[in-house]
């Protein structure tokens, strides 16, 4: 087959070293031109054994499902068995330009999921938000979300990229921007929806309802001014507001969260939280 297809180079794992002399002799016997052979070290699991499904070795598409960017996976695999000085992160163009077979490691490499996760986070944080948004849209679609029903995905990426290591994390933590949540986080409610909080939220509702400039700076000022007027520290105002808006105590900065949600969703969710607090 190699001869028939005009194969000039055969690059494969070093578990094939024993097969190579036999294949060379067969090709010589046929009078064929010999290809160049190269044998690269195997990838091992954390226990030092050959990487297999029990180590979590999966199909390439599973990494997409798990929320990895394709460039991050390529970068990790290239760097796993090859190096170029101390450089860790390479663009695809750099991988093509700099890669040399002679620089492939002699010893086997160990697959480290934590390192892949770190690298993926670097790509999420530093890649063009529009590019990340393109891949994020697939994950939202898998969760029944139409991205056109909420804020621009690239803006969501900018708001979430510091905290999310995978696109799965980002999709799960961004659902409330596009779909009303059914339930509040119980711990967040217990901690933040205490007696009197409905009055804080009612004050905020009134201020937001009267606001025409729905930009982060103006929204942040409303929260600051409200805390001052109510004689409360900022956390006593911002955190109940966050739970009202997102159903959880974790989100991007409150001004960005308000901006991305938009005025109508903000007012509706504050009103819903006020009604809930009255029943507690």
Active-site entry in 53, 190, 265, 278? 53
User: Is residue 158 flagged as an active site residue?
Assistant: no
Give the Cα-Cα-Cα angle 214, 230, 265 (nearest 5 degrees): 30
- What is the C-alpha separation between 227 and 200, in angstroms, rounded? 9
Which tokens go with 112? 């480290």
Q: Please, which contacts does 34-39 make with residues 24 or more away whose CB atoms are closer than 8 Å?
A: 35/2, 35/7, 35/8, 35/9, 35/10, 36/8, 36/9, 36/10, 37/9, 37/10, 38/9, 38/10, 38/11, 38/12, 38/101, 39/11, 39/12, 39/13, 39/14
Q: Which residues are catalytic?
A: 53
């Amino acid at each position: 087959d190699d001869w028939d297809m005009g194969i000039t180079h055969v690059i494969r794992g070093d578990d094939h070293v024993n097969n190579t002399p036999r294949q060379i002799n067969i090709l010589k016997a046929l009078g064929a031109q010999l290809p160049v052979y190269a044998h690269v070290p195997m990838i091992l699991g954390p226990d030092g054994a050959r990487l297999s499904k029990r180590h979590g070795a999966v199909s390439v598409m599973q990494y997409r499902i798990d929320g990895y960017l394709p460039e991050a996976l390529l970068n990790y695999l290239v760097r796993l068995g090859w190096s170029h000085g101390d450089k860790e992160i390479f663009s695809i163009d750099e991988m093509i330009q700099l890669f040399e077979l002679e620089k492939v490691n002699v010893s086997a490499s160990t697959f480290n999921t934590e390192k892949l996760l770190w690298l993926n986070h670097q790509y999420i944080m530093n890649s063009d938000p529009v590019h990340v948004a393109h891949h994020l849209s697939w994950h939202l679609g898998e969760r029944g979300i139409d991205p056109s029903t909420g804020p621009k995905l690239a803006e969501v990426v900018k708001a979430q990229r510091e905290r999310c290591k995978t696109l799965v994390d980002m999709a799960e933590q961004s659902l409330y921007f596009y779909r009303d949540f059914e339930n509040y986080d119980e711990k967040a409610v217990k901690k933040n929806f205490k007696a009197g909080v409905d009055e804080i939220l009612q004050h905020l509702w009134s201020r937001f309802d009267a606001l025409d400039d729905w930009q982060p700076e103006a929204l942040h000022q409303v929260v600051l001014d409200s805390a001052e007027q109510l004689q409360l520290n900022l956390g006593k105002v911002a955190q109940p507001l966050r739970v009202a808006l997102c159903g959880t105590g974790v989100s991007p900065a409150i001004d960005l969260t308000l901006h991305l949600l938009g005025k109508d969703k903000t007012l509706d969710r504050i009103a819903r939280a006020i009604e809930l607090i009255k029943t507690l």
